[in-house]
Amino acid sequence: MKGGEIPLKDKLILRKIAVIESVNDELKNICQIEHTRHRSFINFITNLIAGLLAYSFLPKKPSINIDFVDQDQLALF
């Protein structure tokens, strides 16, 4: 990877990598979304949708609250 400037949005998201990893961990372990060799595409989609529905019913979900402000909206006086 080349060294260079990282945009501010990317820096903020990189700070929240632990939250992103915890969501992936919950999807894999609690909701049982696995990467297996499905015999058909329909079985893969069924497994994926069932896992995402189970995740949506979990009482506590990690979240990231980042509000991006458009630079055009800022007014300097």
| 8 A C-beta contact, residue 62 and residue 48 | no
Tokens read off for 22: 């915890």
Q: Give every CB contact of residue 51 below 8 A, 6+ residues apart in sequence.
A: 27, 31, 32, 33
Per-residue pLDDT of the chain (77 residues; tens, 9 = 90+): 566 788 887 887 788 787 778 777 887 777 777 767 778 888 888 888 888 888 888 887 776 666 666 666 555 55
**CA 76 to CA 35: how far, in whole Å?**
51
Tokens read off for 54: 């189970």
Q: Which of 12, 9, 13 is nearest to 21 (CA)?
A: 13
